[in-house]
Amino acid sequence: MTDDLPHGAERTTVSDLGREMLAQGLTTGTGGNVSQLCADGETVAISPSGVPYDDVTPERVPLVTLDGEQVAGELDASSETPMHTALFRRRDDVGGVVHTHAPYASTFAALGEPIPASHYLIAFAGDEVPVAGYERSGSEALGERAAETMGTAYDACLLQNHGTITVGETAEAAFEVALMVEYCARIHYQASSIGDPIILPDEEVDRLRSMFEDYGQQ
């Protein structure tokens, strides 16, 4: 039961999405992390560091401030906390962050190549998925680099030689973006292996992004 657990709903979301990230093949082992801004707008529930996802119950999900100070939880918060909190501080439209080591997207990250609009679902992220230059994992610099690369125009970016980072109004929304990024990376990889993919024009991707804002059941 999480009714009496401080920020129990947000901690449950982080716990559930960590297992789903593993199930969907977006990471392996204990790699990657998930965070959700809490209802108070000042606290973040985030994956613990180095714990198998099947062992992460809501009670074991740490809480940190927007400055990265841990305020609850017996387990240490993710080593990538600085990257998550940088995005929450920079963008007031972000309520959730997902960091993955998804294989196809990570392949383009290793090449330092953005994922272009060879599939229309790229619009979940932007007109492409840009690449943030390399910074050491867990560093403040990585968070700043990712935030600068995404700005307000993108909801995802590749982290050079590392993986991906995605954002959304909620952690669930950020997770959906992560799924779309990996799908688009796979399609672009496969298409490039056969020939020259056709890239959608920016104006069409802009139209699609507007359409996706109201996508699905309300």
C-alpha torsion angle, residues 173, 163, 46, 22 (rounded to 10): 80
Residue 117 buriedness (CB in 10 A; 0-12 / 13-18 / 19+): buried
Supply 17's token pair.
């999405």
Strands (DSSP E) found in 47-172: 63-65, 70-72, 96-100, 131-132, 156-159, 163-168
Torsion, CA 40, CA 67, CA 178, CA 111, rounded to 10: 170
80 is catalytic: yes
Given 10, 20, 69, 80, which residue is catalytic?
80
Give the residue numbers annotated as catalytic, written as ranges.
80
